[in-house]
C-alpha cells in the first residue's frame, strides 16, 4: 500500500499560517476535552453483585456522597413469561438458550429487586471503594393457583432514582419500582399489587410512600414507574401502562405523602382514543420535556417530542386534575418517512442543548426550539429544509443491530451515548456467529465533546458481548459509572477514571471523498512525531492502514493540521476512520474521534454557508466576510480567503452578533470549511467543490 504523507501547512505561505493560527486561537479550548476509553475503565463490582439474576443496572443516583443503584431482576425471563401469555407459539417459556437461566416454572423466578450502594474510599479517591446491599424487596405476594403456595415480589426492579427537595427542606432519595404486571393489574399468573416508590432520607432506610386502597396511587393500574425528575416545585414520574415502558405522567408537590398527593398531568390522545403515552421525560431550558411512545404492536404512531410549562396560569392549583398543556417541538417521526422511530428512549441536556435518543437516531433541540439531526438518515422537511446528520453517521451510528439509543449522560464535559445492541442473539447463527463478527457483538458507547465529532468508546460491550445494552450511567466526583443489561450472566458495573496520557489525542477528524481516494484531515497532537490511521468497516475489528509522519509547528497555539489519503476505498462501501498519535518514545494517545466516509452529513460550501446566514438573518458584516472569502477563492488567493474565514469565525463567537448556539455551530462549520480551502490550496481538490456541493 502506498501512503501519501503531507502536512497541509508544509507549502503554505506566511499569511495562510497566520490565518490558520488565528482560527485556532479564536476557537480552540485551552485544554481539549477527551472521552475516556476502555483502558481507563475497571469493573467496579462482582458481575450481578454475585447473582446473575441481577440482570440490569436500572436506577442510578448520587446521594449524600455515595452512588445508589437499583437492579432489575430476571427481566428477560419475566418478559418471556409475559409474552408467552399473549403469543405462546412465538415466545415459549423458558427460552431455548443455554446461556439463560430462567426457572422451568415462572412462579419460581427470584424477583426481589435490590438496591446497592457504592462508598468511595475516603483516603484514596482512585481506590475501588465498596459495594453494599442496602435494600431488598420483600417476597410477600402470593401467586394465585399455586399449591403449596408460592410467593413473588411486589417490586421486580428499581428503574429510576432522583433526589427531591421536599417542601420542608428535607432532601430525600426517591426510587421508582417496577412490578411483574403485564397490564391493568395482572401479571402472567394473576393479579399483582401496584408498583411502589421508595423514599430514603439517610440512604440507609428505604420505605415505600403510602399507597392505600381507595386512593389514586393505591388503585393505579400502571405496571411500573420509570423516570423521576424535579420540575419547579413538583416531582414528576413516568408511570408505565405496559411491559414495554410507555406510559402516562404523574406529578406530586408532596410525594412523601403518596396516596392522593399524586395526579395525572399527561393528556388524552384523540388519535388513539386513550391517554397519550410517553417514554421519557427531562427538564431543559425552563420546561418539562416529554418524548412520546406507544405499544408498537397495537399502534403505528411515530414518536414526537413535546414540552410543557405546567398548567395554564390560574389553573391546576385548585383543580389539580387539570392536565398540563403540551406543545409539540419535534413532530411525528422527525419527518422520517421510512421506518420512523416509535419512541423517545433517552433525553439529556448537554452544553445548552437537549439531546434526544430514539430507536436508532439521535437528534438535538436548541434553545430557540429549532432542532437538528445528529445521527440518522438524511431527509427533507415539508418546509424544504434538508436534515443531514451533524455527525455524518447514519442510523444506529452505522450499526444495524443498534435498536435503541438507550442511555445518555454527561461526564467531564463530554456526552456519552450507550446503545441497545441486538447482535448477540445471532451469536450461534452459522452465518452471523463467526469468530470475526462475534468480536464486534455487544453494546456500543459513542462520545462527543462538541456535539458534532464522535468517538467510539466501545463497540463490543467492553469486551463482553453478553452486555447487550447500556442501561444506565452516572457521573460522580469519583469517576463515570456505566451499568449494563446482561440477561445471561448478570449486569456488569464499570467505572471510568480520567487519567492524563503523555500524548494528547488527535481531534476533529474530517474527511473529503474524491474520485480516487478518501482524504482525512485532523488536528494533530503537539507531542506527536507519528500518526497511526485506522479504518473500521463495521463487521470486523478496525485495521491500521498506514502512518503519517510529517509534523510542522505552526505558532504557539496550533498543533499541525494533517492530511492522509486512503486510495484503497471501494465504491458502494462506507468506512469509519480514526487516528492515534505516537510520540518520540513510542507512547500512544487515545483514539481520536471518528469520521465516516462517505459522510451522510452536510458538506459546507460557500452556497450552503450563505444560505445558513440568510436563514438566521445574520448581520451584514458576517455575510460580507463570507462573500469576501468567496471572492478571494475565485481569484485563487487562498491565503486571503483563509484570513477572512478566520475573521468570520472570530466574529461569529460574539453573542452580540449571533446567539451563542448559532455562533458555536457556525464556528464548527467554518473550521470544516477552512480545511476544505486548504485542500484546494494544496491541489488535492477542485475549487468548484467549495462553491456548491459536488458529489
Please give the helix or strand (H or E) that residue 21 lies within, else none: helix 14-27
Query: Model-level pTM?
Result: 0.93
- Cβ pair 266, 324 in contact under 8 A: yes
Q: Cell numbers at residue 694, please?
A: 459536488
The pLDDT score that the predictor gives to residue 653 is 95
Q: Would you say residue 374 has pLDDT above 60?
A: yes
Q: Which of 174-178, 185-189, 512-516, 590-594 is predicted with the least confidence, judged by mean pLDDT?
A: 185-189
Is a pLDDT exceeding 90 seen at residue 630?
A: yes
pLDDT reading at 383 higher than 90: no
* pLDDT at 498 (0 to 100): 85
Gap between the Cα atoms of 64 and 192, Å rounded: 34
What proportion of the chain, given as a percentage, has pLDDT over 70? 90
Please give the mean pLDDT across all residues of the chain. Answer: 89
CA-to-CA distance for 319 and 315, rounded, in angstroms? 7
Does 512 score more than 70 pLDDT? yes
- Comparing CA positions, the residue from 273, 268, 382 lying closest to residue 325 is 268
What's the number of CA atoms in the CB half-sphere (13 Å) around residue 202? Answer: 4
Average pLDDT of the residues in 369-386: 93
CA 342 to chain centre: 17
State which H helix or E strand residue 23 sits in: helix 14-27
26 — pLDDT class (breaks 50, 70, 90): very low
- Return the number of other C-beta atoms located less than 10 Å from residue 49's C-beta: 20
Cell representation of residue 151: 410467593
Among the listed ranges 119-128, 198-207, 552-561, which one has the minimum average pLDDT value? Answer: 552-561
User: Is residue 6 over pLDDT 90?
Assistant: no
HSE-CB at 416 with a 13 A cutoff on CA atoms is 26
> Given pLDDT bands bounded at 50, 70 and 90, which one contains residue 82?
confident
Degrees to nearest 5, angle at CA 634 with 564 and 560: 30
Q: Which fold has domain 4-8+504-553+560-597?
A: Immunoglobulin-like (2.60.40)
Tell me: the pLDDT tens digits for 635-655?
A: 999 999 999 999 999 999 999
pLDDT tens-place string over residues 253-264: 999 999 999 999
Please state, as a whole number, how many other Cβ atoms lie within 10 Å of the Cβ of residue 592.
27
Residue 290: is its pLDDT beyond 50? yes
Residue partners of 133: CB distance under 8 A and separation at least 6: 49, 114, 115, 116, 117
pLDDT tens digits along 595-609: 999 999 999 999 999
Whole-angstrom distance, CA of residue 559 vs CA of residue 589: 15
The mean pLDDT value for 63-89 works out to 90
Q: What are phi and psi of 387, to 5 degrees?
A: -95, 120
When comparing pLDDT for 649 and 549, which is higher? Answer: 649
DSSP 37: -
Provide CB contacts within 8 A for 373, sequence distance 6+. Answer: 334, 361, 362, 363, 379, 387, 388, 389, 390
Longest dimension (CA), the chain: 91
Whether residue 330 contacts residue 316, with contact meaning beta carbons closer than 8 Å, is answered with no
Report the pLDDT value the prediction gives residue 220, as an integer from 0 to 100.
93
User: pLDDT by residue (tens digit) across 496-506?
Assistant: 998 888 999 99
Mean local confidence (pLDDT), 550-570: 66
Question: In this structure, are residues 336 and 379 in contact, taking their beta carbons and an 8 Å threshold?
Answer: yes
Per-residue confidence band for 312, with pLDDT thresholds at 50, 70 and 90: low
Give the containing element (helix H, strand E) for 324: none
- What single DSSP character describes residue 594? B
Residue 278's pLDDT is: 95
Q: What is the pLDDT of residue 412?
A: 95
Please state, in angstroms and rounded to a whole number, the distance separating the CA atoms of residues 527 and 583. 6
Cell, residue 342: 416509535
Residue 368, pLDDT above cutoff 50: yes
Q: What is the pLDDT of residues 130-140, one digit of tens each?
A: 999 999 999 99
Kindly state the average pLDDT of the residues 457-482.
97
Burial of residue 18 (number of CB atoms within 10 Å: 0-12, 13-18, 19+): middle
Confidence of residue 439 (pLDDT cuts 50, 70, 90): confident
Residue tagged 495562510 (cell numbers): 16
User: Is residue 336 within 8 Å of 373, Cβ to Cβ?
Assistant: no
The predicted structure's pLDDT at residue 320: 54
Q: Which three cell numbers stand for residue 71?
A: 437492579
CA 108 to chain centre: 36
Kindly list the domain boundaries of the chain, sorted by start residue.
4-8+504-553+560-597, 36-52+399-499, 55-224+248-264, 606-691
Helices 660-681 and 638-652, packing angle to 10 deg: 170
Residues 400-415: pLDDT tens digits?
A: 999 999 999 999 999 9
Amino acid at each position: 500500500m502506498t501512503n501519501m504523507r503531507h502536512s497541509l501547512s508544509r507549502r503554505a505561505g506566511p499569511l495562510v499560517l497566520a490565518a490558520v493560527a488565528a482560527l485556532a486561537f479564536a476557537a480552540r479550548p485551552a485544554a481539549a476535552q477527551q472521552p475516556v476509553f476502555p483502558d481507563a475503565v475497571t469493573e467496579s463490582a462482582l458481575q450481578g453483585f454475585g447473582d446473575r439474576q441481577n440482570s440490569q443496572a436500572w436506577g442510578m443516583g448520587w446521594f449524600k456522597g455515595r452512588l445508589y443503584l437499583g437492579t432489575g431482576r430476571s427481566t428477560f425471563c419475566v418478559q418471556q413469561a409475559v409474552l408467552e401469555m399473549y403469543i405462546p407459539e412465538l415466545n415459549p417459556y423458558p427460552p431455548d438458550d443455554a446461556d439463560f437461566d430462567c426457572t422451568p416454572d415462572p412462579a419460581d423466578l427470584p424477583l426481589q429487586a435490590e438496591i446497592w450502594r457504592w462508598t468511595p474510599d475516603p483516603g484514596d479517591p482512585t481506590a475501588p471503594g465498596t459495594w453494599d446491599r442496602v435494600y431488598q424487596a420483600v417476597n410477600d405476594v402470593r401467586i394465585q393457583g399455586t399449591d403449596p403456595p408460592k410467593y413473588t415480589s411486589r417490586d421486580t426492579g428499581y428503574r429510576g432514582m432522583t433526589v427531591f427537595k421536599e417542601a420542608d427542606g428535607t432532601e430525600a432519595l426517591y426510587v421508582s419500582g417496577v412490578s411483574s404486571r403485564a397490564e391493568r393489574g395482572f401479571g402472567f399468573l394473576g393479579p399483582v399489587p401496584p408498583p411502589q416508590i421508595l423514599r430514603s432520607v439517610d440512604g440507609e432506610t428505604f420505605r415505600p410512600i403510602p399507597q392505600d386502597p381507595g386512593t389514586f396511587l393505591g388503585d393505579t393500574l400502571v405496571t411500573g414507574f420509570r423516570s423521576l425528575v424535579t420540575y419547579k416545585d413538583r416531582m414528576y414520574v413516568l408511570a408505565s401502562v405496559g411491559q414495554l415502558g410507555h406510559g402516562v405522567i404523574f406529578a406530586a408537590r408532596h410525594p412523601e405523602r403518596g396516596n392522593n398527593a399524586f395526579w395525572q398531568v399527561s393528556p388524552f390522545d384523540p388519535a388513539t382514543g386513550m391517554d397519550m403515552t410517553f417514554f421519557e421525560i427531562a427538564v431543559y431550558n425552563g420546561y418539562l420535556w416529554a418524548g412520546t411512545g406507544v405499544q408498537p404492536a397495537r399502534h403505528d404512531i411515530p414518536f414526537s417530542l413535546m414540552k410543557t410549562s405546567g398548567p395554564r396560569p390560574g389553573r391546576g392549583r385548585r383543580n389539580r386534575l387539570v392536565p398540563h398543556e403540551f406543545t409539540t417541538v419535534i413532530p411525528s417521526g422527525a419527518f422520517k418517512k421510512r421506518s420512523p422511530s416509535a419512541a423517545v428512549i433517552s433525553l439529556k441536556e448537554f452544553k445548552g442543548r437537549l439531546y434526544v435518543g430514539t430507536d436508532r437516531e439521535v437528534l438535538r433541540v436548541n434553545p430557540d426550539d429549532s432542532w437538528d439531526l445528529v445521527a440518522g438518515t438524511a431527509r427533507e422537511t415539508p418546509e424544504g429544509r434538508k436534515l443531514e446528520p451533524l455527525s455524518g453517521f447514519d442510523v444506529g451510528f452505522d450499526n444495524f443491530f443498534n435498536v435503541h439509543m438507550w442511555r445518555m449522560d454527561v461526564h467531564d464535559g463530554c456526552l456519552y451515548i450507550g446503545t441497545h445492541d441486538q447482535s448477540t442473539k445471532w451469536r450461534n447463527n452459522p452465518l452471523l456467529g463467526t469468530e470475526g463478527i462475534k468480536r464486534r457483538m455487544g453494546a456500543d458507547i459513542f462520545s462527543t465533546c462538541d456535539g458534532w465529532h464522535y468517538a467510539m468508546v466501545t463497540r463490543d460491550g467492553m469486551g463482553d458481548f453478553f452486555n447487550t445494552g447500556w442501561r444506565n450511567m452516572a457521573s460522580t466526583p469519583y469517576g463515570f459509572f456505566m451499568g449494563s443489561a446482561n440477561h445471561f450472566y448478570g449486569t456488569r458495573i464499570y467505572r471510568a477514571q480520567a487519567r492524563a496520557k503523555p500524548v494528547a489525542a488527535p481531534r476533529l477528524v474530517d474527511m473529503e471523498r474524491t474520485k480516487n481516494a478518501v482524504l482525512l484531515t485532523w488536528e494533530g497532537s503537539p507531542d506527536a512525531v507519528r500518526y497511526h490511521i485506522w479504518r473500521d468497516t463495521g463487521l470486523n475489528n478496525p485495521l491500521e492502514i498506514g502512518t503519517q509522519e510529517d509534523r510542522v509547528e505552526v505558532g504557539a497555539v496550533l498543533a499541525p493540521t494533517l492530511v492522509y489519503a486512503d486510495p484503497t476505498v471501494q465504491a458502494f462501501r462506507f468506512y469509519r476512520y480514526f487516528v492515534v498519535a505516537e510520540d518520540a518514545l513510542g507512547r500512544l494517545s487515545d483514539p481520536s474521534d471518528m469520521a465516516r466516509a462517505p459522510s451522510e452529513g452536510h458538506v459546507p460550501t460557500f452556497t450552503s454557508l450563505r444560505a445558513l446566514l440568510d436563514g438566521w438573518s445574520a448581520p451584514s458584516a458576517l455575510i460580507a466576510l463570507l462573500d469576501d472569502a468567496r471572492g478571494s477563492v475565485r481569484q485563487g488567493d487562498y491565503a486571503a480567503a483563509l484570513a477572512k474565514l478566520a475573521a468570520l469565525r472570530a466574529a461569529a463567537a460574539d453573542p452580540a452578533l449571533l446567539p451563542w448556539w448559532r455562533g458555536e455551530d457556525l464556528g464548527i462549520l467554518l473550521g470544516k470549511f477552512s480545511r476544505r480551502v486548504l485542500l484546494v490550496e494544496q491541489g488535492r481538490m477542485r475549487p468548484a467543490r467549495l462553491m456548491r456541493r459536488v458529489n
